[in-house]
Amino acid sequence: MGWVYYLSLVNTKFQADCLAARLEAGTWWMPKRPPKYVGVYQTSRGRYGVKVLWD
């Protein structure tokens, strides 16, 4: 079990929240195994990313 970070960073929190919502839905990229947790984080340079945790 471990964190998997999405590979691209985005400039706004809104963009990261939209990406997190798509990952939580899970139907477009991995329908058989939804993630346990999806969260938005901010880097030290002010950009945003999405982290995912599976069981």
Residue ranges of the domains in the chain?
Answer: 3-53
Q: What confidence tens digit (pLDDT) does each residue in 12-21 have?
A: 999 999 999 8
pLDDT number for residue 11: 97
pLDDT number for residue 30: 61
pLDDT number for residue 28: 60
What does residue 34 show for φ and ψ, rounded to 5 degrees? -70, 150
Q: What confidence tens digit (pLDDT) does each residue in 1-51 have?
A: 677 888 789 999 999 999 998 888 765 666 577 778 889 999 999 999 999
pLDDT number for residue 7: 75
d(CA 50, CA 39): 6
